[in-house]
Amino acid sequence: MQNTIYCSSDNLNLIVGSLSNTGVYVEDIRQIPLPEGAMINGIITNVDIMTDFLETIANEYHLQGGATGENKLLKNPSHIVVQASNIVTRIMEVPPLDEAHIREFIKREFTQYESATNEGDTTLYDYTVLNQIGPNGGVEILAAGSGYDMIEDYRRAFDQATFNVESIGIAPEAIIKLVSLLPGLVGQTYMLAQIEPNRQSNLIFINGTFRISNGYRLIAEPYSSSWVGEIGQNIASTLQFIRAQRGQSELHRVFLAGTTEQVINALKTDYSYLNVNMDRFDLSQIVTVAQRITPEWHFDPGAFLYNLGALVRRA
């Protein structure tokens, strides 16, 4: 089993699970409100508060399991997904290189316009392969750059709480890996709107390949008509941008995750003029759950996309 952990603006989302032959298997889930003062917009603002919070989660998990033997939550490899506005991403093509040289290539691309006097670079670089390009082994990648201090705060908090941290990745990467398991989306053009109470992320896939991720803060009271209107306007804004960029209206499918059928139906009615089909993002064919996760748990896989994607091997 593996742990996948994602902190939204309000909650820590935890899934304990594994990659199966048909998709992902969910052994356990938790959604726990974050303590005040621990995080803002995906950035840890107080490592000590976050460490205490993580220790409490681990202890409670152990007690609920009978508190015998090892604490499975601490023993399992943990994969953390981070989403923050100061993580910079860029799609780029790189020549056939090994991993270390690809990271150097990314660094040069990210810093080529910076001042030559800007020494002591404290940015971490990583990437996800999107496409193979040509017969010579070049690849198209989603490159990411993040401040060392922000990632180090995550690592410190989880290490001090004695979690077995194996990886720290970004939210778009998790989505890219997750949709790769859905054969019906191979080669398709669509928008995936991930809805949280206070945040919306619109991810665009063109011909099956990730192209853009736009994040929006949701201000209104969750599930109010104003809140639904914000979601609809954000979808309209992203569609307008894509259609203007590509000079055509090929994007006619929008999948929504993390919200209710009532919200989806309201969006279909109020934004029918957008000329897109809006549907729930269906993960039923690739997500299986343990018998203990009964309907009474009200587990919505769409609210845990980043966790589920983190269970998938790197794309």
Residue pair 126/144 in contact (Cβ under 8 Å)? The answer is yes
Residue 246's SS3 state is helix
Q: Quickly count: other Cβ atoms within 10 Å of residue 173's Cβ.
A: 24
- Answer yes or no: is 62 within a domain: yes
Residue pointed to by tokens 């032959």: 21
> How far is CA 273 from each of CA 38, 239, 240, 278, rounded to the nearest angstrom?
42, 12, 12, 12
- The amino acid occupying position 146 is S
Cβ neighbours of residue 279 closer than 8 Å, sequence gap 6 or more: 253, 254, 255, 256, 264
Q: What is the pLDDT of residue 111?
A: 85
What whole-number distance in Å separates Cα of residue 42 and Cα of residue 10? 10
Cβ neighbours of residue 86 closer than 8 Å, sequence gap 6 or more: 43, 146, 147, 150
- Classify the C-alpha dihedral 93-95-97-103 as positive or negative: negative
pLDDT in tens, 180-204: 999 999 999 999 999 999 999 999 9
Beta strands in 55-122 (DSSP E): 77-82, 88-94
Secondary structure element (H or E) that encloses residue 16, with its range: strand 11-19
Cβ neighbours of residue 26 closer than 8 Å, sequence gap 6 or more: 15, 16, 17, 287, 288, 289, 290, 293, 299, 301, 308
The total number of structural domains in the chain stands at 3
What whole-number distance in Å separates Cα of residue 229 and Cα of residue 219? 11
- For residues 299 and 216, membership in a common domain is answered with no
Residue pointed to by tokens 């009200």: 298
Residue pair 146/88 in contact (Cβ under 8 Å)? The answer is yes
Residue pair 39/33 in contact (Cβ under 8 Å)? The answer is no
pLDDT in tens, 206-237: 999 999 999 999 999 999 999 999 999 999 99
- Answer yes or no: is 158 within a domain: yes
- For residues 172 and 77, membership in a common domain is answered with yes
Q: What is the pLDDT of residue 247?
A: 60
Residue pointed to by tokens 């995906």: 42
- For residues 164 and 37, membership in a common domain is answered with yes
pTM (two decimals): 0.93
Residue pointed to by tokens 């199966």: 20
- Answer yes or no: is 315 within a domain: no
Here the CATH number for the domain that contains residue 74 is 3.30.420.40
- For residues 108 and 34, membership in a common domain is answered with no
pLDDT in tens, 29-80: 999 999 999 999 899 999 999 999 999 999 999 998 777 788 999 999 999 9
Provide the residue range defining the domain that includes 171.
2-85+148-177+287-310
Q: Over the Cα atoms of the chain, what is R_g?
A: 20
pLDDT in tens, 117-175: 445 568 899 999 998 887 777 899 999 999 999 999 999 999 999 999 999 999 999 99
Q: Which two tokens stand for residue 142?
A: 């989603």
Q: Which two tokens stand for residue 174?
A: 């998790």
- For residues 193 and 110, membership in a common domain is answered with no
- For residues 245 and 123, membership in a common domain is answered with no
DSSP-H helix ranges across 128-224: 148-160, 171-179
- For residues 111 and 40, membership in a common domain is answered with no
Q: Which two tokens stand for residue 166?
A: 């194996």
- For residues 209 and 241, membership in a common domain is answered with yes
What whole-number distance in Å separates Cα of residue 194 and Cα of residue 186? 19
CA 291 centroid distance within chain:
26
- Answer yes or no: is 217 within a domain: yes
Here the CATH number for the domain that contains residue 128 is 3.30.1490
Q: What are phi and psi of 135, to 5 degrees?
A: -80, -10
